[in-house]
Structure 1
Amino acid sequence: MEPVYDILSEWGLPLTVAQLIVMLAVATAVLIFTAVSVMFMVWWERKISAHIQVRFGPMRVGGWHGWAQSIADGLKLLLKEDIIPAGADRLVFALAPMVVFAASLAAFVIIPFGPGLIAGDLNIGVLFYISISSLTVVGIIMAGWSSNNKYSVLGAIRSAAQAVSYEVPLVLSVIGVIMTVGSMSMTRIVEAQEGMWFVVPQLLGFLIYLTAAIAECNRTPFDIPEAESELVAGFHVEYSGMRFAIFFLAEYANMFVVSAIATTLFLGGWHGPLLPGWLWFLLKTYFIYFRHDVAALDVSQTAGRSTHESGMEVPTAAGLAEYGDYRIDPGVKRFLVLGSGACDCDSRCIFPDGGLHGGSLSAGGPGQKHRALRHRIGLCLLRRCRAVCPA
C-alpha cells in the first residue's frame, strides 16, 4: 500500500485522510468481490447439484444456463419484507447478522491474492484468521438467543458446539506449516512454497484442514446445526429479507475464505506457470471450494452401506405405490415376481426382500390370503436408471 500512500501524499492529503480513503477503497473492493463471488458460487453449486441429481438446474434467467438466477434471488431477498418476531430482542436481532458478516469479511484482510495484492500483511496472519473466524460463533449465538424461538436456540447451540469442536483440529493442522516456515505471515508462507507446495510434506495436515473447514462451514455431512428435519432452518429460522441475505452472504464468504486459506497454506498461493499469480490463486481457491461441494453431495448420496439399506418397501403388484403388505391376485399378470422369486429388473433397482412375515410366495388354499413377496427399491440406483420398467 506504500505506493498508494505516496500518490495521495503528493496530492496534498494528510496521512490520516489517505489511510481512511485506502480503508474505504479496500472495504468497497472486498464487498464487491464477495458479492460477485458468492453469486457465482451459488449458481455453480446449484448446477453441480442438478447434474448429480439428473436435473437441469437454473436455465431461464439471464439466458445461457440461467447465469443470472443468483442476481434475481438477491433482488427478491432485497425487496422482501423485513419481519422481526414480536418477542425478539430487536437490537441484538438486528446486530447478529452484522457481526457474522463482519467476521467473515475481516478475514479477507490477510489473504494474499498475488504478489503485493494483500490488504494487510500481518506478521501474525494465521493467528489473526483463527481469532477472527471464532467471532462468527458470537453472532450465531446472538441470532439464536434474540429470536425467542426454540429452534433458533438449538441451532445456535449446535453450531457453536461444532465450531468450537473443530477449531482444535483446524489449528493443529496448520502448526506444521508454521513450524516449517518459522513465521505466521501469509506472504512469507506463500514465498516459502516457491520450490514445493506444502501439500506434499504436509498431506495429513491438508486433509485434516479440509475436514475441519467443511465442519466449520456447516456443510454436508456436518450440517447438523441446520438440519431441516429437526430445526427447520437452524439459528436464522426467524430471519427474512435482507437480514437473511446477509447470513447467506456470510456463509458463502466464509467458504471462500477457508478455501483461500487452504490455497495459501498448502497449495502454493499465487505460484504457478504461465498465468498471472492472482489468476492461479483464484483457480486453486475455486477448485478447493468445488471439491468441497462435489464431495459433500457425493457423501449424501452414498451414505447408506448398500441400496438395500436405503431402500423403500413396495408391494409386488404393479401400480400399488403405497407402503404395506398386499396379496397377489392370481389373475393379475403384471407383477415383479417370477416363479423363482427373482426380480425382472435388469438394472437391479428393484430386488426381492423375502416374503410377508418372513415367508415366501405361496398359492394359498381356498378362502386364504396369498402371501406376497416384498421388494425394495434402491433409491440411489433408481434415480440414474434409464431402462424401461418391466412392470
Structure 2
Amino acid sequence: MVNPLTLVFQSLIYPGLFFMIVLIILTQWLARKVTARIQFRRGPVYAGVAGVLQPLADLLKLVVKKDLVNKYSLKASPLIVISLAIGALVVIPSATPLAIQPLHAEYDAIVVLYLLLLIPFGLAYLAAAHPNPYTAIGVGRYIALLLSSEPAYALTILVPVILASRHYGAGYSLYYTSLVSHMLWAISPLKTVSMALATAAGFLGLMSMLMVKPFDTPEAESELYWGMFTELGGPRLALGFFAKFAERIVYPLIYTLLFLGGAWPFTVGDWLPASIIILAKTIAVFTVLTVIDAALPRYKPEQAVRFLWKYLYPASIISLTLALI
C-alpha cells in the first residue's frame, strides 16, 4: 500500500509533474542543439547557460499570452481533454522503476497501454476543436498515422509483457516486466527472434506516433503552414507542446524498460544507479529519434501509411505469434 503523501509527492514532484517539466526543458534543449549541429547552426545560446532555459522561456511566453480562439472553436472541452492527456503522461512514470514506490499490480500493463494509446487522441482533439483548413488536413493525416501504427505498436508492447508473464511470473505487469526484460532475449532462439522483431517494430511505431520524420506529415510546415497546430496559440499551444514534448519522453521510457533491458546491468534494489541508467537509455533513444528527425526527408501521406501497413503490421503480428508459441 503506497503512502498517500508518497503518492502526492510522486505525482507532483518526482517522477511526476515537476520532474517532467525539468526533463522537457533538458530534452528539448538537447534536441535543438543536436538538430542545429546537423544543420550547421548554433541552436539556443541566450536563455540560461548555453541556452538550456530557452525551451522554458518559449513555453512561458505562450502561457502569458491572451487565450484567443476563432468563433468556430470549442472553448472548454479541448483544455479538459489535453489536460487529461498531460495527466496521463505525468502519472505513467509512477508505474515504472523510476518511482520511489512504484504503482503496480497484475495486468497494470493494460492500464498503461490504454493511457499510452489514448494520449495521441488528446492532441488530435485539441487540434480538431479549433477548425481551420490546414488543421483539418493535419488532423486527418494524424489520425491516419495513428490508425496505421497504434494497433501494431500495442502488439509490440504485448510481446515482452507476455514473455515475462509466461516465463518469469510477471503477471502482465509493466513494472515486473521491466525487471526481467533483459532476460527475455535469452529464453530461446525463437523468443530472441520475437523480441528482435518487436524491438524493430516498436521503434517504427514510436517514430510514427511521435511524428518523427519521415512520418511528420501532420505537421508538414512547407505544405500545411503548421498542420494540426495552425490554429493554436497562447496557452492552448503551450498545452499542446507540453503534451507533445512529454510524449517524446514517456514513449522512449516505456521502450527502454521493455526492449532495452530497463535498469540492467543494475537492479531496482540499487534505486539511484538503476534510475540513472534508465534515464540515460531513455535520453539515448530520444537522441536517436532526434537525429533521424533532422536527417530524413518527409514521406507523402500515402507513402507513410503504405510503409506502416507493409512493414510495421507484419513485423508486429509475427513477433506476437512467436511469443505465443
Identity %: 25
1:80 maps to which of 62, 65, 68: 65
Please tell me whether residue 293 in structure 1 is matched to residue 279 in structure 2.
no
Please tell me whether residue 184 in structure 1 is matched to residue 172 in structure 2.
yes
Matches within 5 A, 1:363-378: none
Shift of the 188–221 alpha-carbon distance from structure 1 to 2, 3 Å rule, reads: same
**Equivalent position of 1:34 in the other structure:** 20
2:248 maps to which of 220, 232, 255: 255
**Equivalent position of 1:149 in the other structure:** 132
**Equivalent position of 2:280 in the other structure:** 283
Please tell me whether residue 91 in structure 1 is matched to residue 76 in structure 2.
yes
CA separation in 2, counterparts of 1:226 and 1:77?
19
Matches within 5 A, 1:1-391: 2=2, 5=3, 19=4, 21-29=5-13, 30-63=16-49, 65-113=50-98, 117-182=100-165, 183-193=171-181, 195=183, 202-273=195-266, 276-300=273-297
- SS of the equivalent of 1:225 reads coil
CA separation in 2, counterparts of 1:194 and 1:88?
48
CA separation in 1, counterparts of 2:222 and 2:255?
32
Q: Answer whether contact 1:151 1:237 (CA < 8 A) is retained.
A: yes
Q: Could you tell me the TM-score, scaled by structure 1's length?
A: 0.66
CA separation in 2, counterparts of 1:66 and 1:138?
32
Q: Answer whether contact 1:50 1:57 (CA < 8 A) is retained.
A: yes
Q: CA deviation at 1:244?
A: 0.9
- SS of the equivalent of 1:134 reads helix
Q: Answer whether contact 1:197 1:267 (CA < 8 A) is retained.
A: no
Q: CA deviation at 1:143?
A: 2.3
Shift of the 197–117 alpha-carbon distance from structure 1 to 2, 3 Å rule, reads: farther
Q: Answer whether contact 1:111 1:118 (CA < 8 A) is retained.
A: no
Q: Which runs of 5+ in 1 are unaligned?
A: 6-18, 304-391
1:229-267: CA deviations, max 9, x gaps?
A: 232222232221222111111111111111111111112
1:283-333: CA deviations, max 9, x gaps?
A: 1111111111112222239x9xxxxxxxxxxxxxxxxxxxxxxxxxxxxxx
Q: What residue identity is the alignment partner of 2:92?
A: A
Q: What residue identity is the alignment partner of 2:174?
A: M
Ranked by relative contact order (alpha carbons within 8 Å, sequence separation 6 or more), the top structure is 2
Q: Which runs of 5+ in 2 are unaligned?
A: 166-170, 301-325
In the alignment of these two chains, the number of paired residues is 284
Q: Answer whether contact 1:82 1:240 (CA < 8 A) is retained.
A: yes
Q: What residue identity is the alignment partner of 1:180?
A: L
Shift of the 188–92 alpha-carbon distance from structure 1 to 2, 3 Å rule, reads: closer
Shift of the 92–235 alpha-carbon distance from structure 1 to 2, 3 Å rule, reads: farther
Q: What residue identity is the alignment partner of 2:293?
A: A
Q: Answer whether contact 1:140 1:160 (CA < 8 A) is retained.
A: no
Shift of the 91–71 alpha-carbon distance from structure 1 to 2, 3 Å rule, reads: closer
Q: Answer whether contact 2:86 2:242 (CA < 8 A) is retained.
A: yes
Q: Answer whether contact 1:42 1:70 (CA < 8 A) is retained.
A: yes
CA separation in 2, counterparts of 1:127 and 1:259?
18
Q: Answer whether contact 2:163 2:184 (CA < 8 A) is retained.
A: no
Structure showing the higher helix proportion among its residues: 2
CA separation in 2, counterparts of 1:37 and 1:287?
13
Q: CA deviation at 1:80?
A: 1.9
Task: Compare CA radii of gyration and give the structure with the larger one.
Answer: 1
CA separation in 2, counterparts of 1:287 and 1:111?
18
